[in-house]
Chain A
Amino acid sequence: MKFAYYPGCSARSTCAELNVATHRVAAKLGLELTPLESATCTGARELRAIDPVKFYALNVRILALAEREGLPLMTICNTCTLNLLDAHAAVCDDADLLREVNGQLRDEGLEYRRTTRISHFLWVLYEDIGEEKLRDLVVKPLTGLTVAAFYGCHITRPPGRYGFVDSRNNVALERLATLLGCEPIDYSGRTECCGFHTAAHDERIAIKLTGQHILSAKENGAKAMVTPCPLCHTVLDSFQKEIEKDLGQKLDVPVLHLPQLVGLALGLSANELNIEKHMVNFGVDI
Chain B
Amino acid sequence: MPAPVAIDARRLGQAEHADGLRARNARIAIGAPVIVRIRRSDDGRLQEFRTPYQKAMRVLDALNAIALKDAPDLAFRWFCGSKMCGTCAVRMNGREVLACWEAVEPEMTVEPLRNLPVIRDLVVDRTPYERKVASFEPWLTRPEPYPGFPEPLSHKAIKNASKAIDCISCMSCYSACPVIRLGSLTDFAGPAPLVQLGQTALDPRQDQQQVARALSHSGIFNCVSCYKCEEVCPAHIPIVSGVIEPLKAKAVQLVPQMARHPLAFRAVVARRGRIDPGELILRVQGLRVLAVIPRLVRLLLRGKINPLRTILGSKTPAAGAADRILNKAGHP
Contact = CB atoms under 8 A, between A and B. Distances in A.
B7 A126 contact: yes
B231 A157 contact: yes
B257 interface: no
Interface stretch (B49-57, B58-66, B315-323): B315-323
Contact of B19 (A10, A155, A169, A238): A169
A37 B12 contact: no
Given A52-B249, A157-B227, A201-B284, A40 B318 contact: yes
Interface in B250-276: 252, 259-266, 269, 273-276
A43 B270 CA distance: 10
B306 interface: yes
Interface in B266-306: 266, 269, 273-277, 280-281, 284-285, 295, 298-299, 302-306
Given A13-B306, A43-B269, A46-B262, A52 B245 contact: yes
Interface residues of B, number: 82
Contacts of A54: 325-326, 331
B221 A9 contact: no
Contact of A193 (B16, B228, B318, B326): B228
Nearest to B292: A242
A158 B230 contact: yes
B295 A193 contact: no
A208 interface: yes
A138 interface: no
Contacts of B304: 14-15, 238, 277, 279
Contacts of A197: 224-225
Interface string A191-233: 0110111101110110011000000000000000000000000
A45 B225 contact: yes
Nearest to B4: A128
B261 A241 contact: no
Contacts of B8: 127, 163
Contacts, number: 241
Given A162-B10, A164-B10, A200-B280, A157 B228 contact: yes
Interface stretch (A114-122, A177-185, A257-265): A114-122
Contacts of B316: 12
B305 A14 contact: yes
Interface stretch (B124-132, B177-185, B208-216): B177-185
A57 interface: yes
A201 B285 contact: yes
Contacts of A46: 261-262, 265-266
A38 B274 CA distance: 10
A209 B182 contact: yes
B143 interface: no
A107 B324 contact: yes
Contact of A50 (B5, B240, B252, B318): B252
Contact of B274 (A41, A71, A128, A202): A41
B262 A49 contact: yes
Contacts of A125: 9
Interface in A60-115: 61, 71-72, 86, 104, 107-108, 115
A76 B31 CA distance: 49
B11 interface: yes
Contact of B3 (A61, A71, A117, A192): A117
Contacts of A108: 321
Contact of B5 (A44, A126, A192): A126
A167 interface: yes
30 contacts: A1-B4, A15-B304, A16-B303, A40-B269, A40-B325, A41-B275, A44-B275, A47-B266, A48-B245, A49-B246, A49-B252, A50-B248, A54-B326, A57-B325, A117-B2, A126-B12, A153-B227, A154-B225, A158-B240, A165-B12, A165-B19, A167-B231, A169-B13, A169-B14, A169-B16, A201-B285, A238-B299, A279-B298, A279-B299, A279-B304
User: Top 7 closest A-B pairs, CB basis?
Assistant: A193-B226, A157-B227, A123-B9, A49-B248, A127-B3, A46-B265, A171-B13
Interface of A: 1, 9-10, 12-16, 37-41, 43-52, 54, 57-58, 61, 71-72, 86, 104, 107-108, 115-117, 119, 122-123, 125-130, 153-155, 157-160, 162-172, 175, 192-193, 195-198, 200-202, 204-205, 208-209, 238, 241-242, 277-279
